[in-house]
Amino acid sequence: MVERILVVNAGSSSLKLRVLDTADAVVASADLGAVRNAADTAEVADAVAGFGRVDAVGHRIVHGGTAFRQPVRVDRAVIDRITALTDLAPLHQPKSLAALGAVSAVLPDVPAVACFDTAFHATLPPAAATYALPSQWRSRWDLRRYGFHGLSHAYAARRAAELLGRSGRGLRLVTCHLGAGASLAAVLDGRSVDTTMGFTPLEGLVMATRSGSVDPGLVLWLADHVGTPPAEVAATLEHRSGLLGLAGTADMRVILERASADDAEAILALEVYLHRLRASIAAMTAALGGLDAIVFTGGVGERSSAIRAAAADGLGYLGIELDAARNAADGDSTDREIGADDARVRTLVIEAREDLEIAREVRQVLGTAAG
């Protein structure tokens, strides 16, 4: 029986380990640096050894490409296929694979399940998933909109249905994962039908250090007229743009403080961030044909009442209206409703719990296998 599940969440610079019991309580945890060398591997081994019994392991894998549309039990063939997708997520996939290898070395006989951030968006309809590119390009290189943060969006949508007392059927949600990385998803009947990220996690919203969507002609102009090397363009769009590029800091708390003191750069950064966010919420609503509830999750989504209020401002025509007192209760970490009582659209704040979604998928896969 699967009672204790180790959830392995490898980010670009960190590795979070959580052991969950049958009640989904965290009974052991460790936050480590990303696995880069033998010393890091030894640190992972020490942490896992201290957790006691582990019955199964769930790994967050950023990219599943078109090969993985649902979680899958890990074996050599699965590892090889995940490795082959590294070119689609060169910053994240190697860290996930390194963590998988380090944990598997300590727990070689414990079943492991790969859970993919792209899998939730595998249900995107062709109109939302397809780029207007030649069919030869699209078929040869699997050029399509994949979407990311799927584990977070899936959990937020499922939890929202619980809080609203709905089964999920017919429920129209926009889930807003706002953190260092940020994306939205349009969720209908519990399935993703649109999202803001695309072929890579660069598309869509303005983020902490990522640009979000830019005119591809701008990138071509930099290459043709300025001679900017592709690697330099990529590094700038990924690591030196977004809020950092606009205001000199990627910390939303600092930007809010500076904006309140009439700092021009901080004010512009907020205006650009919110303009893109509001427009994208409206676009997701259009994909759904209406809206029943909007969900805020992720570090900024959960902890910044100012960003939630500013995002809702100007979206009253969609039926979004917040209750100021409920919204201001940032110290309350409990999943909660912050919308006005008479608002047409309900507004929720939900804690990001990718670990719970991963544990659910592990049970699903191993339960199916056992059956």
pLDDT at residue number 51: 94
Domain annotation covers residue 254: yes
Domain annotation covers residue 57: yes
**Among candidate residues 56, 84, 116, the one where a domain is terminated:** 116
Active-site choice (117, 292, 335, 355): 117
Same domain, 293 and 181: yes
In the sheet where 72-73 sits, what is the strand order? Answer: 26-33, 14-20, 5-10, 56-61, 112-116, 72-73
SS3 assignment, position 367: helix
The 8-class DSSP code of residue 201 comes to T
Structure tokens at 271: 């205006």
Structure tokens at 219: 């990138």
Would residue 117 show up in a list of annotated catalytic residues for this protein? Answer: yes
| Composition of the chain by helix, strand, coil, percent to 5 | 45, 20, 35
Q: Note down the domain range covering 181.
A: 166-354
Chain segment 157-204, per-residue pLDDT in tens? 999 999 999 988 999 999 999 999 999 999 999 999 999 999 999 999
Backbone phi and psi for residue 117, each to the nearest 5 degrees, phi listed first: -70, -25
Count the domains in the chain.
2
Same domain, 324 and 182: yes
CATH number for 264: 3.30.420.40
pLDDT at residue number 213: 98
Distance, CA of 335 to chain centre: 18
Domain annotation covers residue 216: yes
The residues, ordered by sequence, that sit 6+ positions from 160 with a Cβ below 8 Å of its Cβ are 171, 173, 175, 293, 295, 348, 350
371 residues of the chain, pLDDT tens digit each: 789 999 999 877 789 999 999 999 999 999 987 877 766 788 888 999 999 999 999 999 999 999 999 999 999 999 999 999 998 888 789 989 999 999 999 999 999 999 999 999 999 999 999 999 999 999 999 999 999 999 999 999 999 999 999 988 999 999 999 999 999 999 999 999 999 999 999 999 999 999 999 999 999 999 999 999 999 999 999 999 999 999 999 999 999 999 999 999 999 999 999 999 999 999 999 999 999 999 999 999 999 999 999 999 989 999 999 999 999 987 666 899 999 999 999 999 999 999 999 999 999 999 854 43
pLDDT at residue number 191: 98
**Cβ atoms of 174 and 147 closer than 8 Å:** no
Chain segment 47-92, per-residue pLDDT in tens? 999 999 999 999 999 999 999 999 999 999 999 999 999 988 887 8
pLDDT at residue number 331: 65
Domain annotation covers residue 144: no
Q: Kindly report the number of other CB atoms within 10 A of residue 2's CB atom.
A: 16
Burial (CB < 10 A; 0-12, 13-18, 19+), residue 198, is buried
Same domain, 196 and 336: yes
Same domain, 91 and 172: no
- What residues form DSSP beta bridges with 32? 15
Structure tokens at 177: 């994962």
At residue 313's C-alpha, the angle toward residues 297 and 305, to 5°, is 40
Domain annotation covers residue 231: yes
Domain annotation covers residue 158: no
Domain annotation covers residue 127: no
